[in-house]
Amino acid sequence: MKEVNRNALAGLLRLVLLLAILLFVPAWTLQYWQAWLCLLVFFTSVAVITAYLMQANPALLERRMKAGAQAETEKSQKVIQAIAAVVFGAIFVVPSLDHRLGWSTMSVGFELVGDAMILIGFSFVLWVFKANSFTSGIIEVATDQKVITSGPYALVRHPMYLGSLVMLAGIPLSLGSWWGLILIGLMTGAIVWRLLEEEKFLTRNLRGYEEYLGRVRYRLAPLVW
């Protein structure tokens, strides 16, 4: 598992470097305190989750590291993941350009709400990891996998996507960009597409999942959908 930990740390550092490039190159300045704070909140959250998995659930950490379009086995998921990767990058780039060109005017209060949303979203993801050791980075079914119905899975069928959307929606706000919020609509579409395909896959391949669909009504947002 030491190799897994090293790979996880290396991946975390690559991610932070990539995000720094996406934030500061389009802005063409380092005098962008919103970007520094967003990067700090994002990095700290991911680092805490990574450290937790290293100690409490190394097997889950290893499963989470197998992710992305190339790792998917379903053709539709390869397409969805490729689209999601582009939109994810744009969620940082567009606000950065917005800052440089002055498209948006936003109060500090809204920007700090965005940072809080990033923390809340990641906290929800951590709750999911604590409840479900089978949350792979790709759509698959492990040999010993069972349906999880407790914790956040008693509220919605796909709580990790819910937490991710809250986190992602917080990014443009934390960066002071109203225009960046448009991309959250695109990401929501990709996530909805992914989870609908995932439900079909799990219904076919995971025993008891169809019964779970009958018990938990809402897919993504309680009392909404």
C-alpha 39/C-alpha 182 separation (Å) is 20
Average pLDDT over residues 184-190: 95
What single-letter DSSP state applies at residue 177?
-
Q: Which residues of 97-115 are buried (b: 16+ CB within 10 A; e: fewer)?
A: bbbeeeebebeeeebeebb
Q: pLDDT class for 181, splitting at 50, 70, 90? A: very high
pLDDT at 1 over 70: no
Q: What is the pLDDT of residue 195?
A: 93
pLDDT at 89 over 90: yes
Q: CA dist 99 to 29, 37, 49, 180, 217, Å? A: 10, 14, 30, 11, 41
Residues 90, 139 contacting (CB under 8 angstroms): no
Alpha helices in 136-208 (DSSP H): 159-174, 182-205
C-alpha 65/C-alpha 70 separation (Å) is 12
Q: CA dist 25 to 29, 87, 100, Å? A: 7, 17, 10
The single residue listed with the structure tokens 């744009």 is 90
- Domains contained in the chain, CATH given: 2-215 (1.20.120.1630)
Q: What is the pLDDT of residue 178?
A: 97
Average pLDDT over residues 31-56: 96
Identify which of 180, 188, 182 has the alpha carbon closest to the alpha carbon of residue 220.
Answer: 188
C-alpha 210/C-alpha 188 separation (Å) is 24
Residues 134, 96 contacting (CB under 8 angstroms): no
Out of 31-45, 65-79, 132-146, 188-202, give the one with best mean pLDDT.
31-45
